[in-house]
A and B are shown apart, each in its own frame.
Chain A
Amino acid sequence: MNCAAFEKSIALYVGNDIRVSERRSVETHLEGCAACRELANDLRESQSVFKALRSGAVNASALTDLRQRVLNEVGDLEPAPGWVVALHRLIFAGLRQRAAVAGFALAALVSGSLWFGQPRVVVSPAEPGPVAIARFEAPSAPDNYPLSNVTPRITTVRPTPKHSAISVAVSLELSTAELPAEPATLHTQNTLAPMKFLTDDPDIIIYWLPKDKGD
């Protein structure tokens, strides 16, 4: 540290206000730094002037004047009623510490009862999760059918408070733009086949039964 960093510590050191942990480092610095020693000496000299001021006192006439003024004013003041004095004495002299302890105990009791009394949400492993993810199982298709063109769109619907079951809406979009012209019959057959969707919940199985609009 440089001298500027020590200035404040030296100012405390000369008045014996420094922490014990800092004292040693200040003393070590003072041993090797003449400028800081000069600062410390100046501050010590000021300290002796301040101490000399302690012995100074206000003169007797100023005190007499003050006392007279105070007693004149006090004579005009009404003292606090007896019951106010008694109440304050009870509160400030007797009840305050007990009230603090009682207040702390009450706060602990109330917070404890609130903590243990609040409703708990118990998550059972048997219950389904909040979101179900549907898996698409396509029926077996011929080797030459471009299954990559089949894009399932799965939308999950949040459960309502009344019905906790999760609805899964699934639509299957077939992109016909890139479908080969042949085999056309095969394409029709495949798209009309019933499809089965499995969800994470084993109790929910979705069957998609396409309706042939042509028939």
Chain B
Amino acid sequence: MSTRPEITLLHANSLWMSRSESEALLSDAGELAGLLTRAASGDAAAFEQIVVRHERRVLTLSWRLLGAMEDAQDAAQEVFLRTFKYLHRFDVRKPFEPWLVRMTVNVCRDLGRKRTQRGIVFVAEGDGYEQAEQPDSAGNPHDELQSEQQRQMLYRALNDLPEKERTAFVLRDIEGMTTAEVAGALGSSEATVRSQISSARLKIRKSIQRIAGGRR
């Protein structure tokens, strides 16, 4: 007799939570749509708001794709300039972030190609990038060092990947996007993305083994 009211209460509570979350999301989406519409009409203040909302995502993704903060800043700047230029083509009823991610990937791809032509490769510098503290390694210098070494090994392994596999891997495994989202951002099929991710994971494992073996 006493369990039923608790279950009802829990259910009502979760219902209230989901409703408030969805309302917040809708409100946020509505606000963003308003900003996009105003920015497309040349409202600089609205555009600044859009930049503030998305600069972290765009710069982080650019850094992960290109490996150098200076290049990442150039790429992110180009992304926002293109956004401003082509915003009037964007359908504000659709989600904005996938459009922005797709543009970031394209800009980084172009910049990466130019860089390859100049003979520069993925460098993964640490400047301008800070690693958030991990709960399990907080206060333990040995763990932090190991974590930093793992990070360095991973970025060196990323350097060896072909450009398409690296992009798919970064979007899926580091950015945490779903396979469908990655396919949408890259303009390819989910099957292709799965193949690229699988190949990249295996190659990274081999590279890390090789790098770790060389250190010993």
Contacts and interface: CB of A to CB of B under 8 A. Distances in A.
Contacts of B174: 50, 53-54
Interface string B139-181: 0000000010011001000000000000000001111100100
Contacts of A67: 48, 51-52, 55
A63 B57 CA distance: 10
Interface residues of B, number: 54
Contact of B175 (A54, A77, A85, A88): A54
Interface in A78-106: 79-80, 82, 84-85, 88-89, 92-93, 96
A54 B208 CA distance: 19
Given A63-B55, A73-B81, A92 B89 contact: yes
Q: Which 9 pairs from chain A and chain B are nearest by CB?
A: A79-B42, A62-B128, A55-B132, A11-B198, A85-B88, A11-B201, A50-B173, A70-B80, A8-B198
A210 interface: no
Contacts, number: 144
Nearest to B195: A8
Interface stretch (B1-9, B24-32, B69-77, B109-117): B69-77
Nearest to B60: A58
A46 B205 contact: yes
Contacts of B208: 46
A49 interface: yes
A89 B198 CA distance: 40
A131 interface: no
A43 interface: yes
B44 A74 contact: yes
25 contacts: A7-B202, A8-B199, A15-B197, A17-B172, A46-B154, A46-B208, A49-B147, A49-B150, A50-B173, A51-B173, A52-B147, A52-B151, A56-B129, A58-B63, A61-B128, A65-B73, A67-B52, A67-B55, A70-B76, A75-B44, A77-B84, A79-B42, A79-B84, A89-B88, A92-B90
B98 to A, nearest CB: 15
